[in-house]
Structure 1
Amino acid sequence: MFFVSHFYEKHVDDYLILENPNRKIRSYPGDEEQLNLTLIQKGILPILNAKLVIKYDMVLESTYDVRKEEQTETVEVPITLLSFERKELSLPVFAKRRGIGKIRVIRLVIPNILGFSEIDLLYNLYHKQEIVIYPSLKEVKGVELIKPRNNGDHQAKHSIYEQPLLQYGTRPYDHGDPFNRIHWKATAKRNELQTKVVEKVNQLSWTLMINVKTVYGTGMIEKTEQMLEHVAYLCRFATERQIPFEIYINVRGKGGVPYVHLPLGEGNQHLMNALELLARINPLGLTAPYKHTLSYVHQQGKSPYIIQIGDLEENHIAVLKRWEQQGHSVYNVEINNLTAKLVPLNSKGGTVLHEQSG
């Protein structure tokens, strides 16, 4: 009996396999999803009356009896696996709130075949399955202030932007005209320097600047969640109207850069990338001072329309006003209780100031 018990403990998992495919599920809060696990016993030793212990992030919620901890839930599922059997398990879960739901721990507790003890097997590889829960969408009123008149660039009488391909004539050369704007064929015809006249256009792309480093205190996490829900609304609004947009968030990126950046793009795939980026933001994670983010972005090319979301301090506003002086239109999302509206930065009530926090 001792030999049989010892042999079982030592070899029951020799040919036991837990499949681990890459699987990403996209969801919204309130949706029901499935965490799928596939166990295969390719050996002759059966696994009887075992229990599969699964620990996952608390952004998910199961209908099973669970043990709740600070950031995770643990559920136990009974399982029997006979010789050469493959078993697929589906654990129904609800997407509770924005975030990334991953399986953190998988353990298989097997009673010894003679009932003398238990065998505790821990899966020590990273489980690749995850549920990406997008933020809900909350309206931002006034966003139609920058609603486009067509699908992208549009002609305008007064604009700081020009489209060299939209040439419609020439004029006599003026002092200060760029050298590469000279129309050489027209110059040769008229024996006088001629400058190309190009169409003035407005480029309707957006730069979304997001400050998730909020003032600490009661309701800090709820405030951050509401802010990200308004950002998600702006991303969908831009996508529906074919407006290219980019995102800067003051979360530390690779190499110590004080922001993460979603490059300029448009379309449904770009929207999915934006929503996934927002889903991965941890309000309790490592953020960067917003003034450092603004300082870096100040040196980059930016869209004509800049939309700022989050708390502002005096030094932040100074940078945004410099961008206005450079010809950008800067707006602020003003959040009051459960509503938000888009207002020009320089309008009355268009900014919310907070004490300096470094």
Structure 2
Amino acid sequence: MIIHRVKSFFIQPRVMIFIVLLFIISSLAGQGFISFLFALAISLSLLSEWYLKYLHTKVDWQFKKYLDMTSIGEEFTGVLELKNESAFPIFGLKLNIESRSDQDFVFLDQANEKQESSIYSKRIDLLPHAATTVEIKMRGKGRGMHNWSAFDLLIQDPLKLQTARLDYSSTELPRFKVVPRIHKLKDMKLKSMLQGFKNTANSLFIDESNIIGTKDYENESFRHIHWLATAKENKLLAKKYQQVQGDFYSVFLNLAGNGPFHLRKDMEELIEYTVSVCIYLIKEGCKVQLWVNYSTRDKGILRLENDIDRSHLKKVIETMALINTNGMFLSTEQFYQFGMAQMDPKSMALVIGTPPLFVKREWLQIKQ
């Protein structure tokens, strides 16, 4: 915490030196009443200094948020708790909070939630040995890990001779993870294609050894079971689906364009679509590998993989939130050459973004 003092004109150092000189002169001249006034001014100045020096050590704060992450455009709320541990009241305590940019996240007005700002200010009164809470509403505007860029508490002495600004910018301020929008997949062509490919690879008439036989189906899971009624034997047969190629996909997200290297302008749209596709596939019980044309200095190409585990959803969403233009991107040719050489040979390649030009492997473009 850094403390900044803002003093009024009457207690500026030069003015105080002048008042002290006048006090000495008036005392030597026997001007009792005038000397008393100057002495009072000096006393009030010292009292103001002591009051603020004492109070700034007695004010504490804590921020609590309800959610670990939020989506772009969604409103999220946090609670700021302020404590006054001193024996004196604090009137007109002002808090100022700023975000780095209105493209990261914004604060919402309590009265009118449609009014957005990158700055939040509020005045409150704190009684001695008391605490109060302030509800702060925010809305995510862009992907990434964001935090308050500035947080100040302004305390004035009762006579308003000076103000102490407690600057907490150097401390660890609250952080907020804003993830891509998660859309409900409405692409019926994609759904039909995936379902058809899955059914083709899981034919009822292959691998007859997996027919379970006659059984009761009460309390039975129907998710991966295909039922077949045969009139000849008057029996109900069931066959479990096997996790073969129709349940295994490698999703490639290429954010680079063709020709001279550049990033695509629809980068955000592609990221949101990729997240939606991965969530859809995982919820359908498919195994998914995700390859993203994005890299950091310490790691290679961004790669995520799940094994029919829905807990992987959160990891996919959080990782995609951290992609930014400051990272490293490969050319389209290098990305697909490396990724498709490393992908599982049993999986089907689904391409989102700029497609490969010369790749021998089978792949399917689902969004360009």
Fold shared, TM-score > 0.5 on shorter chain:
yes
Contact conserved, 1:156 with 1:200, CA < 8 A, in 2? no
Report the counterpart of residue 161 of structure 2 in structure 1: 116
Structure-1-length-normalised TM-score: 0.65
* Post-superposition CA distance 1:13-62 (Å, at most 9, x none): 21322225686444334432213222222233433212211112534333
**Amino acid across the alignment from 2:189:** G
Report the counterpart of residue 104 of structure 1 in structure 2: 149
Question: How far apart are residue 89 of structure 1 and its match?
Answer: 1.3
Distance 1:265 1:83 in 2: 57
The Cα RMSD (Å) is: 3.7
Greater Cα radius of gyration, structure 1 or 2: 2
Structure-2-length-normalised TM-score: 0.63
Which range moved further: 15-24 or 205-214?
A: 15-24
Report the counterpart of residue 345 of structure 1 in structure 2: none
Distance 2:292 2:134 in 1: 38
Report the counterpart of residue 213 of structure 2 in structure 1: none
Cα gap change, 1:280 to 1:201, in 2 (>3 Å)? closer
Q: 1:242 aligns with which of 285, 288, 295?
A: 285
**Amino acid across the alignment from 2:367:** E
Q: 1:63 aligns with which of 108, 131, 147?
A: 108
2:90 counterpart of 1:47: yes
Distance 2:135 2:267 in 1: 33
Question: How far apart are residue 112 of structure 1 and its match?
Answer: 3.1
Task: Give aligned pairs, total.
Answer: 279
* Post-superposition CA distance 1:299-340 (Å, at most 9, x none): 53435111121224xxx432xx23x1xxxx4112334xxxxx
Report the counterpart of residue 186 of structure 1 in structure 2: none
Distance 1:35 1:21 in 2: 6
Question: How far apart are residue 132 of structure 1 and its match?
Answer: 2.7
Question: How far apart are residue 96 of structure 1 and its match?
Answer: 4.1
3-state DSSP of counterpart to 2:268: helix
More helix as a share of residues: 2
**Amino acid across the alignment from 2:323:** I
Question: How far apart are residue 295 of structure 1 and its match?
Answer: 4.6
Distance 1:82 1:113 in 2: 14
2:352 counterpart of 1:309: yes
**Amino acid across the alignment from 1:243:** C
Distance 2:317 2:76 in 1: 18
Contact conserved, 1:140 with 1:230, CA < 8 A, in 2? no
**Amino acid across the alignment from 2:176:** E
2:188 counterpart of 1:147: no
The equivalences for 1:273-292 within 5 A come to 273-282=315-324, 284-290=325-331, 291-292=333-334
Fraction of identical pairs, as percent: 15
Unmatched tracts of structure 1, length 5 or more: 66-71, 167-198, 336-358
Distance 2:98 2:258 in 1: 32
Distance 1:200 1:73 in 2: 49
Report the counterpart of residue 300 of structure 1 in structure 2: 342
Report the counterpart of residue 172 of structure 1 in structure 2: none
Question: How far apart are residue 262 of structure 1 and its match?
Answer: 2.0
Contact conserved, 2:86 with 2:128, CA < 8 A, in 1? yes
The equivalences for 1:1-358 within 5 A come to 1-20=44-63, 24-56=67-99, 57-58=101-102, 59-64=104-109, 73-96=118-141, 98-123=143-168, 124-137=170-183, 139-143=186-190, 144-147=192-195, 154=202, 201-202=244-245, 204-214=247-257, 223-253=266-296, 255-257=298-300, 259-282=301-324, 284-290=325-331, 291-302=333-344, 304-312=347-355, 316-318=356-358, 321-322=359-360, 324=361, 329-335=362-368
Distance 2:105 2:118 in 1: 8
